[in-house]
Amino acid sequence: MKNEKWKFETKVIHVGGEPDPTTGAIMPPIYQTSTYVQSSPGEHKGYEYTRSHNPTRTRLEECLASLENAQHCLVTASGLSASTLIMHMLPKGSRILCGDDVYGGTYRLFSKVFPDIHQFKFVETTNLANLEKEMESFKPALVWLETPTNPLLKISDIQAISALAKKVKALTVVDNTFMSPFFQNPLDLGADLVIHSMTKFINGHSDVVGGALMMNAQELRDKLFYLQNAIGPAQSPFDSWLVLRGIKTLAIRMKAHEQNAMKVAAYLESHPKVERVIYPGLKSHPQYELGKKQMKGSGGMITFFLKGGISESRRFLENVKLFALAESLGGVESLVDHPAIMTHASIPKEVREGLGIFDNLIRLSVGIEDIDDLLQDLDIGFAKV
Ligand code: P1T
């Protein structure tokens, strides 16, 4: 059951969510199997072994492809394993031009795991003229964008950058984790590949680690599928099923995250103990207009700088309670993170501080709890600073 005209809110529930044809069960079964019986060697029903294919995972891939307006989707065991597959797809010695502000684990993967295989250059991607020069001199095979970035929420122009990359025959990859397919669809803007950490908003319940790759080109899909099967980072059927369950509420969750985040951002912006707030929905955001153009909303992530340093940050982080101090983001519950010590610790201090990730920078993943309770929790944290 799939209707090309369905809106997001319908697709997210019904594509891949068809009743089980055998029993009529309204919820898809978890095909908790590693292998599949063949009637004669090589004769089977399209499924041979769960590392390669699994019907529960197939349903999730169908759903995600439709949400990103993609022809194809591959679901992987984690966001980073999806990134790893892209790196293995490139010929040895490829050049990758990567945004300078990316998730710490992505930075570590590129700068510590792959530097003997490929060449990486980390550059500022919000300045198009500068980026065009970098593309012409570095001649990348691939341009890697996170937008908005983690944790500084910088917004890069996907349409313009994809067009520049095409001119130098480079692929454009967009990590769309922070916006989810509900608020941003990079393939529609010219990107070649979209990657998600499904661990975050897509699953939304902080109980699964997973990744996804979406693309239109059959050739890209075939290369990445080959590598996924050959290397092995497939998601388990149970985890795919949990994501199928969590994703059904993605649209209403994203609206609720945004509604709360907008109020939290406004609260922070007027707070005397806050130096600066970064949120795509605030007019003070440096790429506010671009965000309005390429995103359908502002999301649930906020970054702010406390007045003070590490001791003020620690006091705030130890005293908020509803905002749980934990890595990750995108769940229904609010989380708070200290990137310099937690999620971005693998980035050398001088690089981190060069970007502006100081000890007074705090990242919020605003959940969908009652806004008054969230603001009260922040009040308690600030009172102890
Ligand atoms: O954790 P994993 O599912 O492997 O996804 C990695 C990843 C990729 N891209 C972005 C933008 C991410 O934020 C992440 C993971 N991020 C965190 C765990 C975090 O707290 O920022």
User: How confident is the prediction for the chain on average, in pLDDT?
Assistant: 97
Residue labelled with tokens 């050398």: 348
How far is it, in rounded angstroms, from Cα 359 to Cα 313? 7
- Cβ 380 vs Cβ 320: under 8 Å: yes
* Chain segment 148-174, per-residue pLDDT in tens: 999 999 999 999 999 999 999 999 999
Residues with Cβ within 6 A of ligand 1? 78-80, 103, 105-106, 146, 150, 175, 177, 197, 199, 209, 211, 327-329, 337, 343
Percent of all residues in the chain with a pLDDT value above 90, rounded to a whole number: 99
State yes or no: pLDDT of 2 exceeds 90.
Answer: no
Which of 154, 177, 183, 338 to mutate for ligand 1's pocket (most ligand atoms within 8 Å of CB)? 177
Residues assigned a catalytic role? 51, 103, 175, 200
Q: Point out the ligand 1 atom lying closest to the alpha carbon of residue 365.
A: 20
Residue labelled with tokens 């955001």: 285
**What confidence score (pLDDT) does residue 55 get?**
98
The helix (H) or strand (E) run that includes residue 362 is strand 361-365
C-alpha distances (whole Å) from 238 to each of 30, 44, 211 are 6, 23, 14
* Chain segment 244-257, per-residue pLDDT in tens: 999 999 999 999 99
**Closest Cα to atom 13 of ligand 1:** 103
Residue labelled with tokens 């890697």: 144
The pTM assigned to this predicted structure is 0.98
Within 8 A by CB and 6+ apart from 80, the residues are: 105, 106, 109, 197, 211
Kindly list the strands in the beta sheet with 142-146, ordered across the sheet, starting from the edge strand earlier in the chain. Answer: 72-76, 211-215, 193-197, 171-175, 142-146, 95-99, 119-123
State the average pLDDT over residues 84-98.
98
**What confidence score (pLDDT) does residue 3 get?**
73
Residue 4 — very low, low, confident or very high, per pLDDT cuts 50/70/90? confident
- Which domains does the chain show, CATH number per domain? 8-247 (3.40.640.10), 250-383 (3.90.1150.10)
C-alpha distances (whole Å) from 335 to each of 46, 212, 361, 362 are 41, 23, 14, 11
Q: Residue 210 carries which side chain, given as an amino acid letter?
A: G
- Cβ 245 vs Cβ 198: under 8 Å: no
How far is it, in rounded angstroms, from Cα 272 to Cα 378? 13
**Beta bridge partner(s), residue 120:** 96
How far is it, in rounded angstroms, from Cα 110 to Cα 158? 21
Which of 199, 205, 343 to mutate for ligand 1's pocket (most ligand atoms within 8 Å of CB)? 199
Q: Point out the ligand 1 atom lying closest to the alpha carbon of residue 342.
A: 20
**What confidence score (pLDDT) does residue 246 get?**
98
Read off the tokens for 199: 């661990």
**What confidence score (pLDDT) does residue 1 get?**
62
Kindly list the strands in the beta sheet with 335-337, ordered across the sheet, starting from the edge strand earlier in the chain. Answer: 274-278, 301-306, 361-365, 335-337, 324-325
Q: Point out the ligand 1 atom lying closest to the alpha carbon of residue 337.
A: 20
* Chain segment 223-251, per-residue pLDDT in tens: 999 999 999 999 999 999 999 999 999 99
> How far does the centroid of ligand 1 lie from the alpha carbon of residue 103, in Å?
6
State the average pLDDT over residues 118-143.
97
Helix locations, the chain, DSSP H: 8-14, 55-67, 79-89, 104-108, 128-138, 158-167, 180-183, 218-231, 237-247, 250-269, 288-294, 310-319, 349-355, 371-383
